[in-house]
């Protein structure tokens, strides 16, 4: 088979330059044509399928007015709940910061009292 198509590979043609007769057609060329045609058919089928899908997607799953009102209500509930949670979180953070500040003030006051006691004891000893 190599010998038969060796001139095709060399010249890129099915014609032999030395003779005027046509050699057998390259068998792989038919398969290329078939593959190309199959690819075109596949493209057409996929376009048809995508058009069908688009038509299906355009149809609403629920009646639009009812769906949109339910959706809006649910979204409003979620937003109000998230606002409530944010307010609760802010309140907790504020309480925590107040508690930490009180604790810090208490420590400072305690240190001052200890220093006063120490100074008072030193003054009594002298």
Residue 29's nearest CA partner among 46, 10, 45, 12 is 12
Note whether residue 45 is domain-resident.
yes
Range of the domain at 109: 28-125
What sign does the CA torsion over 77, 78, 80, 84 have?
Answer: positive
Note whether residue 106 is domain-resident.
yes
Q: What is the DSSP string of 15-38?
A: B-SSSSSBPPPPHHHHHHHHHHHH
Note whether residue 89 is domain-resident.
yes
Q: pTM (2 decimals)?
A: 0.35
CB distance 14 to 26 below 8 Å: yes
Q: Could you give the number of structural domains in the chain? A: 1
Note whether residue 9 is domain-resident.
no
Q: What percent of the chain has pLDDT over 90?
A: 36
The pLDDT tens digits of the residues spanning 82-96 come to 999 999 999 999 999
Structure tokens at 32: 């290329």
Note whether residue 19 is domain-resident.
no
Note whether residue 6 is domain-resident.
no
Note whether residue 100 is domain-resident.
yes
């Amino acid at each position: 088979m190599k010998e038969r198509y060796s001139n095709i590979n060399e010249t890129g043609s099915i014609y032999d330059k030395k003779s005027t007769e046509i050699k057998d057609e390259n068998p792989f060329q038919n398969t290329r044509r078939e593959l190309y045609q199959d690819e075109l058919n596949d493209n057409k089928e996929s376009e048809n399928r995508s058009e069908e899908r688009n038509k299906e997607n355009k149809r609403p799953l629920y009646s639009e007015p009812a769906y949109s009102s339910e959706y809006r209500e649910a979204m409003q509930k979620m937003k109000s709940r998230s606002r409530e949670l944010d307010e609760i979180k802010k309140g907790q953070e504020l309480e925590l910061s107040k508690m930490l500040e009180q604790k810090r003030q208490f420590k400072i006051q305690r240190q001052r009292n200890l220093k006063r006691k120490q100074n008072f004891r030193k003054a009594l000893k002298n």
